[in-house]
Amino acid sequence: MGMGSSHNETEIAIIGGGPGGYVAAIRAADLGRNVVLIEERDRLGGVCLIEGCIPSKALINVVDLAESARAARKMGLTFGEVSTNLDALRRWSDSVVDTLTKGVDGLLKRRGVEVVHGRARFVDNRTLAVEGAHPATLAFRNCIIATGSDINRLPAGQHLPLWSSAEALRIPEVPARLVVVGGGYIGLEMGLVYAGLGSQVTVVEFFPRLLPGADQDLVDVVVKSCERRFHRIMTESRVVDIQKGGGGYVVTVEYQGQKLTQECDQILVAVGRRPNTDKLGLEHTAIRPDRRGFIQVNPCGRTAEEHIFAIGDVTPGPMLAHKASHEGKVTAEVIAGHHATVAENPPIPAVVFTDPELAWTGLTERDAAEQGLTVDVARFPLLASGRARTMGRTDGLVKIIADPDSRRVLGVGMVGPHVSELIAEGTLAVQLGATVDDVMVTIHPHPTVSEAIMEAAEVAAGVPIHINPPRRPDGALRVRAHVNPRNRQGGCEGCPLEHT
């Protein structure tokens, strides 16, 4: 029913048109459900598409091209001096975003999803009020909350025009001196973009190390690269004061027990995000977010109101677009009576688009230590990868975390070129309950970086080819016979396979 009238009804109301909400709308419509999607922005796609994942990767790709051009000299390929046209760069990024947002519009239109622009809040557990150019009331049978997250602000300098990632992605200028507050993935990705464009970048991180969610051995490789490109990295530090001055800002940082001041031209605040749940009218329902604002849900996405679901950044777990999209599909299918995609704690890959890229999925060593789990960890260095050598990119490794008894792959971590594309194989291995033997006997194409996953599995199985196997205390090589436990017994003499 159209939203032209003041009171309307729908089978499924979805609040938020980001990668969680619009995906849920498409899947629900394909399953024959009547859907109204409410989005407060003029465009669909959410933070990810408009001012996050997509524009940041457009800029990162440009900087990577420039770095590749410079690195090509040692391979015998010389270009003219690399220069940047900021207007053209902005147009390129905007064109990518525009094309994708229009694509989302088209997908929803073809599915018959009604899109309403305005801000939704709960009047009660069966009704939404939509505020905007055309105020309306919407009754629903089911609702999906997909309102995403917002940027955390810095207490110091709250009233100053500091950059968030949203402003930084618009490239208003390339500051000569940039201070990045926050050494998580957003801070490092954007810091490397601006370093690549010519800024002198200083990173200030509160915790003892950068990228605190990832395993140290993977982070170390990224940190070495960042140290070459950044002016300074200050860990265990915090910004305590920001004043206008010196043609830009004067920043006071508490670092190693002392207060240091530093002049800069701009400050990028990248200190995390918080869920958008505070102005939804949830007090008119049984849903009570926790102290950090997150809504608790079961594996089907149900909240304390069994007909109201929540997905993406408003729920606990990593704030990642692909998590939201997956959960959008799950909730749409559950509402439609299908439960095929519901799984408890599915592996969620995480990628940091630094140079080199860093990615992990499933259990990390850090997780295992915190949970008191005993695991086997096998590493394969890209120094031993033929393809990495041909690219001149041997700074990295692949590691597999496995259960010592069942030999199941519990987690995969990697750092190096193209690992954002390769981590899906690790996620598939964890999702399917594959063993290290399964990964090891899966033929990988040569020469590719993907072979490093197979090679890491061979290390885990105790039969590495391209690195030396471990030695016993007596100095002998420790290599064991390999039997794939999935093969059936029987067949020709001395052969474990059934065949004629």
Given a cut of 90, is residue 354 above it in pLDDT? yes
Q: Token pair of 46, please?
A: 């959410």
**What is residue 266's three-state secondary structure?**
strand
Residue type at position 228: R
The last residue of a domain, from among 271, 292, 318: 271
- Give the pLDDT confidence score for residue 192 in this predicted structure: 97
Range of the domain at 417: 356-461
Instruction: Please enumerate in sequence order all residues whose Cβ is within 8 A of that of 476, keeping only pairs 6 or more positions apart, or say none.
Output: none
Instruction: Please enumerate in sequence order all residues whose Cβ is within 8 A of that of 318, keeping only pairs 6 or more positions apart, or say none.
Output: 213, 348, 350
**What is residue 403's three-state secondary structure?**
coil
For 69, counting Cβ atoms within 10 Å of its Cβ (0-12 exposed, 13-18 middle, 19+ buried), the class is middle
Q: In this predicted model, what pLDDT tens digit does every residue of 383-422 receive, in sequence order?
A: 999 999 999 999 999 999 999 999 999 999 999 999 999 9
Residues 312 and 421 in one domain: no
The size of the chain, in residues, is 500
- Give the pLDDT confidence score for residue 229 in this predicted structure: 96
Q: Let me know if residue 212 belongs to a domain.
A: yes
Alpha-carbon span 277 to 457, nearest angstrom: 43
Residues 210 and 296 in one domain: no
Residues 27 and 140 in one domain: yes
Residue type at position 152: N
Query: Does residue 330 or residue 344 have the better pLDDT?
Result: 330
Closest CA to 310 of 340, 274, 282: 282
**Looking at residue 47, which CATH number applies to its domain?**
3.50.50.60
Residues 360 and 392 in one domain: yes
Residues 299 and 381 in one domain: no
Residues 374 and 325 in one domain: no
User: From residue 141, how far is each of 126, 335, 457 by CA, in Å?
Assistant: 7, 10, 49
Q: Let me know if residue 376 belongs to a domain.
A: yes
Alpha-carbon span 193 to 38, nearest angstrom: 34
Q: In this predicted model, what pLDDT tens digit does every residue of 23-78 receive, in sequence order?
A: 999 999 999 999 999 999 999 999 999 999 999 999 999 999 999 988 888 889 98
The CA-based angle 408-410-415, given to 5 degrees, is 125
Rounded mean pLDDT of 232-241? 95
Alpha-carbon span 131 to 413, nearest angstrom: 45
- Give the pLDDT confidence score for residue 298 in this predicted structure: 95
Model confidence at 83, pLDDT cuts 50, 70, 90, reads: confident
The last residue of a domain, from among 271, 289, 321: 271
Q: In this predicted model, what pLDDT tens digit does every residue of 95-145 receive, in sequence order?
A: 999 999 999 999 999 999 999 999 999 999 999 999 988 899 999 999 999
Model confidence at 1, pLDDT cuts 50, 70, 90, reads: very low
Rounded mean pLDDT of 359-377? 97
Residues 186 and 96 in one domain: no
The last residue of a domain, from among 288, 303, 335: 335
Q: In this predicted model, what pLDDT tens digit does every residue of 12-34 receive, in sequence order?
A: 999 999 999 999 999 999 999 99
- Give the pLDDT confidence score for residue 493 in this predicted structure: 66
Q: From the CB of residue 85, how many other CB atoms can be counted at a distance below 10 Å?
A: 9
Q: Let me know if residue 47 belongs to a domain.
A: yes
Residue whose tokens read 């190693």: 256
Q: In this predicted model, what pLDDT tens digit does every residue of 462-491 receive, in sequence order?
A: 999 999 876 656 555 555 555 555 554 555
Query: Does residue 4 or residue 225 have the better pLDDT?
Result: 225
What is the CB-side half-sphere exposure of residue 384 using CA atoms within 13 A? Answer: 17
Residues 325 and 386 in one domain: no
Model confidence at 246, pLDDT cuts 50, 70, 90, reads: confident
Residues 172 and 203 in one domain: yes
| Residue 307 is a catalytic residue | no
- Give the pLDDT confidence score for residue 256 in this predicted structure: 85
Q: Let me know if residue 347 belongs to a domain.
A: no
Alpha-carbon span 58 to 404, nearest angstrom: 42
H or E element, residue 378: strand 376-381
Q: In this predicted model, what pLDDT tens digit does every residue of 285-331 receive, in sequence order?
A: 999 999 999 999 999 999 999 999 999 999 999 999 999 999 999 99
Residues 257 and 284 in one domain: no
Lowest mean pLDDT among 195-199, 242-246, 284-288, 440-444: 242-246
Q: In this predicted model, what pLDDT tens digit does every residue of 259-289 receive, in sequence order?
A: 999 999 999 999 999 999 999 999 999 999 9
Given a cut of 60, is residue 451 above it in pLDDT? yes
Q: Let me know if residue 470 belongs to a domain.
A: no
Alpha-carbon span 358 to 422, nearest angstrom: 10
- Give the pLDDT confidence score for residue 485 in this predicted structure: 55
Q: Which of 446, 466, 482, 499 is catalytic?
A: 446
Residues 402 and 436 in one domain: yes
Residues 202 and 136 in one domain: no
- Give the pLDDT confidence score for residue 368 in this predicted structure: 97
Q: Let me know if residue 23 belongs to a domain.
A: yes
Rounded mean pLDDT of 340-369? 94
Q: In this predicted model, what pLDDT tens digit does every residue of 144-179 receive, in sequence order?
A: 999 999 999 888 877 899 999 999 999 999 999 999
Alpha-carbon span 415 to 221, nearest angstrom: 7
Question: Where does residue 392 fall: left (phi above 0), alpha (psi -120 to 50 degrees), or beta otherwise?
Answer: left
Q: Let me know if residue 159 belongs to a domain.
A: no
Closest CA to 47 of 12, 13, 14, 22: 22
Given a cut of 60, is residue 3 above it in pLDDT? no
Backbone phi, psi, residue 16, to 5°: 115, 125
- Domain count for the chain: 3
User: From residue 3, how far is each of 132, 151, 254, 470 by CA, in Å?
Assistant: 12, 31, 54, 68
Instruction: Please enumerate in sequence order all residues whose Cβ is within 8 A of that of 440, keeping only pairs 6 or more positions apart, or say none.
Output: 454, 457, 458, 460, 461, 463, 482
- Give the pLDDT confidence score for residue 344 in this predicted structure: 84
Mean pLDDT of the chain: 92
Q: Let me know if residue 282 belongs to a domain.
A: yes
